[in-house]
Structure 1
Amino acid sequence: MNSTNGFNLITLLMISIFFMPIITGILNPISKNRVINSIMAIFNSMKFVLGTLLAFYFIGIIFSSTKNGFLTFLDQSMPPAAEFVARYQHDIVAYVITFFILMSVLFFLLELLAIPITRHVLIPLSLRLSTLLEAKRPITRRIFGGLWQLPRSAFMIFVLAILLNFYTNFINNPDAGEYINASKAYQTVQKTMLQPILNAELVKSVPTLVSEAFKKAAEDYTPANSDSTGDPNYWKLPAIKYFNGMTIDEAVLSNTAIDETAQRIVGNETDDRKKAELLYHWVRKNIKYDQAKAVIVLKNPSKVNSGSIITYQERTGVCFDYSCLYVSMCRAVDIKVRLVSGLGYSGTEWGEHVWNQIYDTAAEKWINVDPTFGNSGYNYFDNDDFSDTHRYDVVQAEW
């Protein structure tokens, strides 16, 4: 996908959307009613966001089974209530009903708290501000009308950035993802607005709270590296559990076609880092993420075929397949490589994930590589914010 006359169309779209409300504000001078409505709209939006986040927070407390959690408190003070919560702890219907009850109560309380704020602060502030503006010249009111639209412009750009981020992460179109990420405007918004918010622990915890209602975490996680729950990797699953009883060495077995493809890709390049990056780009662009297989893996991993050879032949796979094929290709051109398991943040939730590390001989260090996430078009080859979306890494094997 190419830009028109060297100009990125995503950048053009973002610039246009940003300035549309501002131009509208300049053409329509600000009035008393617009001032009041705008301030109240902002205040109501803040109440909605706060009420929703608080509902998620209290849901996490109520349905938490951790030691010294709310369930333990109930068990000590009100055993029948504790038994009721424990019985429906993993029932999504109970979760949803409780969530909406909490939201209703919280919204009611917030509305009560908002009455004095609205009456004694927001309305007097709106009236004073509108009176000051009406005394100004029309040109001043027009300028202020444009500036008044800046929050709306920022919000619209933020929503567009979220949609673009969703597209690059969940729609399997590497070329489009790469084109979107090539937009300087999108990159600016992503780094200054999107990443700080999406990487905030509170935001990351919201989908985790929801997903916990669908599964019993205690049955899904088993100790891997330690017998102590104090170890952050205590509950981490070995990557090979999901893949048809296949050992990692069996999964990374190569063949002549894979080896020759890897050698052709790197050509005459001799630098290990550059060779590894060339292979990373080939894998991320040529292997399509298999959503259907991912669903099957979660339900019954024994029903899927995994590993380098099947992935290369069918050009589809899940994260384990991407990483196995990348290992096979690196080994074919004498690059030291690892297969790593841990948690990956997809943009909506944390989940079990597999990626790679390669050894940069010039820099004398291991660097992170994620060809699966790279399929989105965003760079996951030794990028600076790799740790924002990957954690609890466990090296499963090294070659």
Structure 2
Amino acid sequence: MPAVWTMFNFISALLAVVIAVSVLQGIARGATGSARHLLFIVTEGAVTVASLYFAWQGAKLLSPQLQTWLAERSIQIPTEAMGFFKQLYYTFVTAFRDFPLLRFGALFLIGYVVLKHVLYLIADPLLRIALPARFHRADERRPSLSSALAGGAIGAVTGFGRALLLVAGLFIFVTLFPHTPLSGYIQGSQLYQKGAKQVIEPFTGDLIASQLPVFTRAVEREIGNIMQRKYEVIDAAVPTDVAEAAKEVTAPGKTDEEKAKLLYKWVGSRISYDWNKVRDYEERGVWHEQTPEDTFHTRKGVCIDYARLYYVMAKAAGLDAKVVTGLGYDGQGGYGPHAWNEVYLREKSAWVPLDPTWYSSGGNWFNPPKFAETHVREA
């Protein structure tokens, strides 16, 4: 029994069921009903492919023009306090202007929905005109044996098409996540391997295998940039007392690096880690939101509060900085949610990382050589 169970593969079973159900549906519908169903599936596929293609081309054409139009409007994030909806507006508009994948994706999605609807409106009446009247109504009587057999054959073609679509989806998943247990299980299916190797791979070449992971990583980077933009908008207004403190702290610095280090030491040494805030969140599910001004005055916060305070103080001191979110090493072999900063040093023409939260733990966390081994940027 165990040997038989280990040989059984749910993916193969699922693909077989998809084909079998289509065959049974074909037999039940008969030749005319199955042919009509197959025709509508083919039409839907053609409309979908055409919509995807023209939406893609349209997005490629419109995206740079829209970026230019938005850039000419010189939209700037206000430096005064903003309400939630105003923050949301500036986050979206400036991200739409500055991040090409977001802009392209939105245009592509809108174009696809509109085009598919329009093409359906065109295709439906054309089919009704071109096809015999009997194709537009279901056979109310039970199909004859010959009609049922023909319907079953047509259903088999439909089933193979559906199965290939499922294989294509699984193929994309395996390409993106090759080292997961689920991917290994999928690849253990003989039916999946035949569909992937004999149809999907020859048809797509190295497009999916080589380009899709690259595209996915680019999307991940852009999501991180959008998260950064959110904090830029939320913390656009720097309180006067915070700005004055930042200028005073960085006054001895002559270079961007010296100013950035002075701020790193000041925030890291002046702010105490708020363990009560952590406990409230972990044990009661209560998150105490606070602004950089709150952190500045209470002298307490968690990693995101350290990072946001550093960001606004750096901005007030004339530095270009970022809030970065991701995972931080917990010292016990694992990683947990964390936030830190990056600051741009003009004399080095480079962004460098720093972690003011970890300042009090000892060691140098201002651009150390192996920073990336303990900090993993959010994907």
TM-score by length of structure 2 reads 0.41
Q: Which entry has the higher C-alpha Rg, 1 or 2?
A: 2
**Structure with a larger share of its residues in helix:** 2
